[in-house]
Amino acid sequence: MNTNKPAVPNTTVTRNVHDLDKTTDNLYESLVVIAKRANQISNNVKEELHGKLAEFASSNDNLEEIFENREQIEISKHYERMPKPVLVAIDEFLNHKIYHRNPAKEQK
């Protein structure tokens, strides 16, 4: 993920549900958009994390080496401190940074 993004809260924030349905006029449609974006973010972060941890992978499966690798531990801690994907997706949705469309609505 890009570290230059605006600050997203790391904790749960109480939201007014009427703020979520302003864009789509349907709360459930908004939640689907947010959930799909959260899945995209989660998959991107997971791929990035696995790529960084793969750099430290060794051909030896020595149990002692696994616990001594400080770089892996620091990378993992960094990703644990990042905001959850659903919080990032909600922030993007509320700030109109997500492009979404409903083909069923367009046909009407």
In this prediction the pTM is 0.78
Neighbour tally for 41: CB within 10 Å: 20
The tens digit of pLDDT for each residue in 27-80 reads: 999 999 999 999 999 999 999 999 988 887 766 655 555 555 788 888 889 999
CB 90 within 8 A of CB 15: yes
pLDDT of residue 9: 74
Tokens 């939201």 label which residue?
15
